[in-house]
Structure 1
Amino acid sequence: MTDSAFCDGTTSLDKSPTCGLPLGLDFDYFAGQLYCCDPFVGLTRVGAFGGLATTLVPTKDGVPYRFLIAVTKTSDGPVYFTDASAVYGPKDADKSIQTGDSTARLLKYDPRTKNVTVLLSQLAGAVGLATDSDASFLLVSEFIAKRILRYWLKGEKAGTSEVFLTFPGGPNKIKRNQEGNYWVAVNVPKNDSTVAPQGVKFSPSGEILAMVDLSKEYNSRITIVIEYNNKLYVGGRNFPFVGQYDIKYV
């Protein structure tokens, strides 16, 4: 039981080991449950009526996770999630980028057996995760490697991965929209050590459909871009607000 006065809803990393730090969310609409990745608690689940989260897997083979950050629940049962680093935690996220850390993993949790399987390892900053509409593949963004991988779940290529898209900057969270396409938040480095945040829309085949420049509104890294009802919703860990924009493609 946490102290509600101490855990006041702020995102202070000093409070996170006690209060938790939910960095990745995905809702299972069929079961009415919310899955959450928390680097200090593990993979968790919140029931249909809310309340405290239940920890499903706090460790892998007895070793605590360092940086759980992305999760997606498929309709046929498994939960997929990523550990962004086996070395660095949230407080040292910049160090992982500076050192080119490649110890991230893609993992699978089976709710029936409660087992966790490592699907991919030696990833460079695996921070985003999404599936297609029939769960035939997963898309995994590697922030440090500046690319998105496709990991096949079904078909002749099941169990294999390939480079799906590359970017001039680090891709973060990936979200599928209502029409089955995707948006990813991309942070492009500039010469003055700042970044130019973008929202990039792409198809399930990897075709870039649109790019939205967000550098006027955001002056540091963004985390997520979501499209809903012809509006974009943009968020980042360094901003105490969510931006809402009418979509204007460039």
Structure 2
Amino acid sequence: MFEPRVAVASLSGESDADWAKQAAPHVGCAFLGGIALDDATRSAARDLVDRDRNEFLPPDPVAFVDRQLAALDAVDVLPAFNVRSATLEPLAEVATVCADRDALVEINAHCRQDEMCAAGAGETLLRDGDRLCEQVRTAADAGATVSVKVRTEVPGVDLPALSARLSDAGADVLHVDAMDSEPVIGEVVEAAPEAFVIANNGVRDRETTREYLGYGADAVSVGRPSDDPAVLRRVRAAVEGWFDAGRPEPQPEPGVSPDAR
């Protein structure tokens, strides 16, 4: 899917093409966004801005995605765009743009902000597998390579079972925020063996990277410290060392502090 198997994860209102360019020397994939696409999610995004959260709110979100991806044409990184929509038409439009730009489109079933959930996007989709699968099929039918950003620890959601459904619907990538339930990564890998699984949350160093890879993740992604080259270099070295050794079983390292790793 991409090399090195390190991604930087989208941070709403912050992760644009310039951000991706800065991370590109250290990673194989950059998830731009997130961006709200339709009226309901754009209204929710404006409400989020009103309470001091960062959001991208261009006049034409589809054109914005196209411009941002075009700015990465000559950059050695696989681009992706995290999007939020409660309706299918704008999702199909932006998926077509992503397909034309050789980028992934990532459906956000992850955002837990009340405003976005009330609009019918984010975590609301995670709780409604039928709608989420419909979004995946819509994006896949537009010719895009489809990622879905999901999270663990959502009451009432059997994430491994849902992951299998998403893979069957056409999701090529499952981008999993493990929260404090890291072993779920292994369950998702087992349930959806055809999907490329990216593990997210707390990826900072050799120890956290090897833990996720030990559960079978195909790659890891870095969130908040994605603008810190030292963190990205450390994670990249851990990932490359892991795969160079042929996916070894993680071994404990008594007496070695996490900071030293």
TM-score by length of 2: 0.31
Give the number of the structure whose residues are more often helix, by fraction: 2
Give the number of the structure whose residues are more often strand, by fraction: 1
Return the structure number with greater relative CO, CA threshold 8 A, min gap 6: 2
TM-score by length of 1: 0.32
